[in-house]
Structure 1
């Protein structure tokens, strides 16, 4: 009995000691420059959005937020670095939907994306646009689906592979429509768009901003948008759901993540700072220009629940498709 009481007393004292430590961690953050790792190369949409957030946070905080590109293996190299870093809020990860598929694409990871990293907040979501060449005989999505069913595996679509957005949204559409197409790999969306414009590809999904630009410049024809609602940029383009494929609804998202050992008060403080940045009118306008149709900034609990749900969804899709990383 005495031993039990002693254990209980030590547990209470331990909890009491942890509370001031957590409060100190929150109050002292940031005590040095913050490294925000971006696991992709510079110049892409995720990189541009990440730099926007880092720059604005640097202006709000007493320490700078430095964006660092650590590329390779579909984003897993940069993510692994952050997962193994100290959970003190000074090393963060700026990732996108690729985080949700890493386990399915690279089954021999040296970290667990679901357990070793935690989402602090979702930043924004953007739709994709389904495009065909400007001279394509397919003027509607129904035309494209009918042609694909008539010639299984003969039509082509552009993809960056490795669980990237172009591959994910294409697989989602093919599954929803019940058709097969041949995947043509590219190192980036730009060369794929060039091949689409000259008629070398049957179909390509592109990010909302650049996809609409291609269509408005008559270098492609937009058949559908993957978002849940029509875009004000080209309101005449219907959604996948309107055309009978609600299961092909897809939004690319970006998120800020931290090592799972990061104390909850520090996570909450980071989320509050990001939410304040996202509330700035100039930031919201710039995100809209970059194709973001929904600015989020939710809590760590909400963000992590969303990411786990996305992992479950995409791992099932990719497992059925037999997708693997290079």
Structure 2
């Protein structure tokens, strides 16, 4: 049994256990509507996950779960909105981990991601892909490098915000390949990809969820996966490691976090309810279909430790590359 099959089996068993323990609503932590803040515009990677999860979570807890998009400032607007709400569990944040572990390294976000925020559930993991405009005269990373070097000072790469893995990966590629690409940040994947499709900004490191359908439709090219292992849903696309860039390895998780002031008891109730929703075949299969790798359930303590490790790794990257906000 492969890794994905094991995760799927565990999720299904968890779901069956939850369903056996009580009827719908038994895991509700509130008798009022829940606001799920999303630090991205509609249609972006995190928004896709939020709407998949919110729909099932609403069914499971018997309360409306309203998605509230608050993009901008690398996600810090959304985090601050959550932190300004009462810590009663009625306001949660569904975010990619990079909002907490990458952006604060570069931008003044106005919160401490390791003290003010508490991770609750990691739902799925995504990977970065190196993509480009259809008109880029290259089929792989080697070809991209040759093309950029033949056009010194003329080319750029997009990111879905300053201080994110999208910028980090581009900066690492720039340095390791000896290139002079200019960084052009955008407020989210969708506006950035629009420019890449149109050729205004030819290159980008993006999350696989938003890039995958465009790759399939031939609207953008894919040159590699920013990981040490190939992504199951793009089995024929070589990794950056295979093409000589093993350090460009970015796989953020996406999940639910709450303010650190939320009580441990309430945090565990939210954890149980969201985990129950994620365990359903409907959510599992939908996450896989859009390009995510579902994750096994972790305790809040384990997730907090993972967050700290990721934060410290990104701090080292920023320092070594002297990455700054653009």
Shift of 1:261: 1.9
User: Where in structure 2 are there 5+ consecutive unaligned residues?
Assistant: 1-25
CA drift at 1:178:
5.0
Cα pair 1:207 1:291 within 8 Å, conserved: no
Q: 1:265 to 1:240 in 2, by over 3 A?
A: same
Give the whole-Å Cα distance in 1 for the aligned partners of 2:213 and 2:70: 29
Secondary structure of the 1:206 match is strand
Task: Give SS of 1:174's match.
Answer: helix
**Aligned pairs for 1:1-326 within 5 A:** 29-96=29-96, 97-107=98-108, 109-148=109-148, 153-319=153-319, 320-324=321-325
Describe the shift of the 1:296–1:155 C-alpha distance in structure 2 as closer, same or farther (beyond 3 A). farther
Specify the SS of the correspondent of 1:118: strand
Kindly indicate whether the alpha-carbon contact (under 8 Å) linking 2:189 and 2:210 is maintained by their aligned counterparts in 1.
no
CA–CA separation in structure 2 for the residues paired with 1:132 and 1:115: 38
Q: In structure 1, how many angstroms separate the alpha carbons of the residues matched to 2:90 and 2:191?
A: 36
- How large is the RMSD of aligned CA atoms in angstroms? 2.8
Deviation at 1:260, TM superposition (A): 0.8
Distance 1:201 1:31, change over 3 A: closer
Q: Cα deviations across residues 225-283 of structure 1 (Å, max 9, x unaligned)? A: 12443234332110112222221111232121111122223222222222222221111
- Do the aligned partners of 2:41 and 2:188 also contact (CA within 8 Å) in 1? no
Shift of 1:117: 0.8
Q: How many angstroms does 1:177 deviate by?
A: 4.0
Shift, 1:176, TM fit: 4.7
2: distance between equivalents of 1:99 and 1:153?
Answer: 33
Question: Across the two proteins, how many residue pairs are aligned to each other?
Answer: 299
What's the CA shift for 1:49?
1.0
The TM-score, its normalising length taken from structure 2, stands at 0.80
Is the 2:173–2:248 contact (alpha carbons within 8 Å) kept by the matching residues of 1?
Answer: yes
Q: Report deviation, 1:105.
A: 2.9
Cα-to-partner distance string for 1:91-132 (whole Å, 9 max, x where unaligned): 21112122222322322x433222111111212111222123
Instruction: For residue 134 of structure 1, report the CA deviation from its aligned partner.
Output: 3.1
Compared CA separation, residues 45 and 221, structure 1 to 2 (3 A):
closer
Shift in alpha-carbon separation, 1:257–1:138, aligned structure 2, 3 A? same
Is 1:37–1:69's contact at 8 Å kept on the other side of the alignment?
yes
Q: 1:197 to 1:123 in 2, by over 3 A?
A: same
> C-alpha displacement at 1:149, in angstroms?
5.7
SS state of the match for residue 276, structure 1? Answer: helix
Distance 1:153 1:249, change over 3 A: farther
Distance, in Å, in 2 between the alignment partners of 1:30 and 1:191 is: 36
Q: 1:140-181: per-residue Cα shift (whole Å, max 9, x none)?
A: 212323454676654321223332453233234334545441
Equivalence for 2:17:
none
Q: Which has the larger radius of gyration?
A: 1
The worse-fitting range, judged by mean Cα deviation, of 313-322 and 219-228 is 313-322
Q: Secondary structure at the match of 1:248?
A: coil
Distance in 1 (CA, whole Å) between partners of 2:215 and 2:51 is 27
Cα distance, 1:177–1:122 mapped onto 2, change above 3 Å: farther
